[in-house]
Amino acid sequence: MENRYGIKAIAIDLDGTLLTTEKIITDRTIQTLRHVMDNGIHVSIATGRSLTTASRFIEQVGTKFPAVCYNGSCIYDPSNNKDLWHIALDSSICKRIVDISLTSPAHLHAFQEHELYFTENGRNADYLEPLSGKTGKAIDFSKLSPLRFTKAMFIGERTETDRIQSLLKNEFGSTLHLVYSHADYFEIMTGGATKGSALERLMDMYGIHSDQVMAFGDADNDKEMLTWAKFGIAMGNAHETIKSVASDTATHNDDDGVAKKIQEIMGFQLPD
């Protein structure tokens, strides 16, 4: 393996990037990632998912390097089973989010202390991760105390989630980081909590600079990460607005896009 650019770490989004549309990681991709890890390159999963739903993919890849979860609100160390960094929304903001949910047809999913909460009616709203209906807990949000969401997410029609986004922007401005991870998945984190800021924080812990990092993503919540890393790579299935901020483009997530681009840039080829 040449590694002619001196890359020390690779950060990879899950949905639409590392995962195929069938929500699997191909054997070719796993072999590629394990090859670079065997050659001393760190691999970090950087996802909007919760730790619970990301863990099985982290284990499947076999990386022990810390992961970025909840769109940058948490850095988790799988080797020691602990958070290295974790930030949550202020309780007054959480209360406002709950109040909005009471009159909205969009379903609120909230993550707190690595637990997922939703109302019974919203149990199956997360169609991208059907297992969440079983791993989460149906509750009455008015009875949850304290309220300190790591991330809140409204799942519903775009017109409704756009309305909620406008409300929160007007009320809280830059104190919140508001982003879509999917067409109708509107996510709310505290201001400054992005994949990019978390990745920078993580790499600083290991003395790794942005020009030594490769990052892969496909969605709006990957923008900051792709612009921070010198080798910011958008997937072929990414929207044009994401490709426009990336330094390079990979093939589709259903075409081993991550594996092919890593092999191309790192200068090696594995047998099919």
pLDDT tens readout for residues 223-249:
999 999 999 999 999 999 999 999 999
On the question of pLDDT at 183 being above 90, the answer is no
Identify the three-state secondary structure at position 17. helix
Please name the helix (run of DSSP H) or strand (run of DSSP E) that holds residue 76, with its range, or none.
strand 74-77
Whole-prediction pTM value?
0.93
| Dist CA 216 CA 232 (whole Å) | 6
For residues 200 and 82, state if they share a domain.
Answer: yes
Q: What is the mean pLDDT of residues 181-191?
A: 93
What pLDDT score does 1 carry?
A: 86
What pLDDT score does 131 carry?
A: 77
Higher pLDDT, 67 or 127: 67
Q: Which of 168, 190, 212 is the last residue of a domain?
A: 190
Quote the domain boundaries for residue 46.
9-86+193-266
The DSSP line for 163-227 is: HHHHHHHHHHGGGEEEEEEETTEEEEEETT--HHHHHHHHHHHTT--GGGEEEEE-SGGGHHHHH
Q: Is residue 130 part of a domain?
A: yes
| Dist CA 123 CA 136 (whole Å) | 8
On the question of pLDDT at 17 being above 90, the answer is yes
**CATH, residue 36:** 3.40.50.1000
For residues 152 and 217, state if they share a domain.
Answer: no
* Cis peptide, bond prior to residue 146, ω within 30 of zero: yes
Q: Is residue 211 part of a domain?
A: yes
Average predicted confidence (pLDDT) for the chain: 96
Q: Is residue 271 part of a domain?
A: no
For residues 180 and 206, state if they share a domain.
Answer: no
The alpha carbon torsion through 104, 220, 260, 15 (nearest 10 deg) reads -20
263 touches 271 (CB < 8 A): no
